[in-house]
């Protein structure tokens, strides 16, 4: 029961922190987006062209492949390795835990993630549909960041709680001591994640990076 409560708090925090001033780019609640030209690679390694869209319910994320007049093919994350849809690239990742809490895996065993950055520092974006609560009508999006630092092998979900963010994210930026120190001191939190990444990648002082400028590498 304790672990369930932690997961719920994490997801709530990610909605509040990750969603500030922005709308989901690649998911739509009602229409589920338009089909876009792309490619998908199945688990067996075969690559196929197609017209794709993401299909989202509170229970799962999946990919639909347009077959023209026939019903679309529905591909579950477990069937895929990666795919592209329009200008966006997506990958399938498994067993992602929250940084500092290896037993908590809020996105399940396998799910879809949009690729934001690759290379020494990798950043992925996760989005899932969650039911509306209270006065909120209809489902809403819960977004989260996933990161793999330089020299690390595991992808981890970025903590949404400020204290955990300060504790577990600072080491990812240790080769930029000034930035790492500001994170560790709690001067930068989950709401500053895009600015942190931008400052780290382009070796800029965090004070010089606006939220609008930082967003350019995430869209």
Better-scored residue on pLDDT, 108 or 27 = 108
Distance between CA atoms of residues 116 and 218, nearest Å? 6
Angle 81-84-19 from CA coordinates, rounded to 5°:
95
**Strands of 79-139, DSSP E:** 80-85, 88-94, 97-98, 110-117, 122-130
Q: Is the pLDDT of residue 4 over 60?
A: no
32: confidence class by pLDDT, cuts 50, 70, 90: low
Q: At what angle do helices 177-184 and 162-169 cross, to 10 degrees?
A: 150
Which H or E run contains 52? strand 47-57
- Residue 97, CA distances (Å) to 82, 109, 145, 177, 208 in order: 20, 10, 12, 26, 32
DSSP alpha helices (H): ranges in the chain? 2-18, 162-169, 177-184, 193-202, 211-215
Distance between CA atoms of residues 105 and 108, nearest Å? 6
**Class of residue 219 by CB neighbours under 10 A (exposed 0-12, middle 13-18, buried 19+):** exposed
Distance between CA atoms of residues 80 and 73, nearest Å? 13
Distance between CA atoms of residues 142 and 148, nearest Å? 20
Better-scored residue on pLDDT, 201 or 59 = 201
Q: For the residues 164-178, what does the mean pLDDT come to?
A: 95
Distance between CA atoms of residues 163 and 183, nearest Å? 10
- Reading the block at residue 19, the tokens are 């969603």
Distance between CA atoms of residues 21 and 162, nearest Å? 19
Q: Is the pLDDT of residue 140 over 70?
A: yes
Please tell me the least confidently modeled range out of 10-19, 138-147, 197-206.
10-19
Q: For the residues 87-96, what does the mean pLDDT come to?
A: 95
Please tell me the least confidently modeled range out of 79-83, 113-117, 138-142, 152-156.
138-142
Mean pLDDT, rounded, of the chain: 85
Give just the sign of the alpha carbon dihedral 40, 123, 93, 6: negative
Distance between CA atoms of residues 187 and 207, nearest Å? 11
The whole-number pLDDT of residue 10 equals: 42
User: Which DSSP state fits 186?
Assistant: T
The whole-number pLDDT of residue 212 equals: 95
67: confidence class by pLDDT, cuts 50, 70, 90: confident
């Amino acid at each position: 029961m304790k672990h369930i409560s932690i997961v719920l708090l994490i997801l709530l925090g990610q909605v509040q922190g990750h969603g500030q001033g922005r709308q989901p780019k690649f998911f739509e609640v009602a229409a589920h987006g338009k089909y876009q030209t792309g490619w998908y690679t199945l688990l067996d390694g075969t690559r196929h062209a197609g017209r794709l869209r993401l299909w989202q319910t509170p229970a799962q994320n999946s990919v639909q492949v347009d077959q023209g007049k026939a019903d679309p093919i529905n591909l579950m994350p477990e069937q895929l390795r990666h795919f592209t849809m329009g200008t966006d690239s997506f990958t399938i990742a498994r067993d992602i835990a929250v940084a500092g809490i290896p037993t908590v895996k809020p996105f399940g065993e396998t799910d879809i993630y949009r690729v934001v950055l690759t290379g020494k520092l990798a950043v992925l974006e996760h989005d899932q549909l969650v039911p509306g609560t209270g006065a909120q009508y209809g489902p809403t999006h819960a977004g989260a960041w996933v990161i793999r630092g330089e020299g690390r092998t595991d992808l981890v979900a970025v903590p949404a709680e400020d204290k955990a963010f300060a504790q577990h994210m600072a080491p990812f930026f240790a080769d930029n001591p000034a930035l790492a120190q500001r994170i560790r001191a709690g001067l930068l939190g989950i709401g500053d994640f895009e600015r942190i990444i931008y400052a780290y990648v382009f070796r800029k002082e965090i004070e010089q990076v606006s939220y609008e400028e930082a967003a350019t590498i995430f869209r």
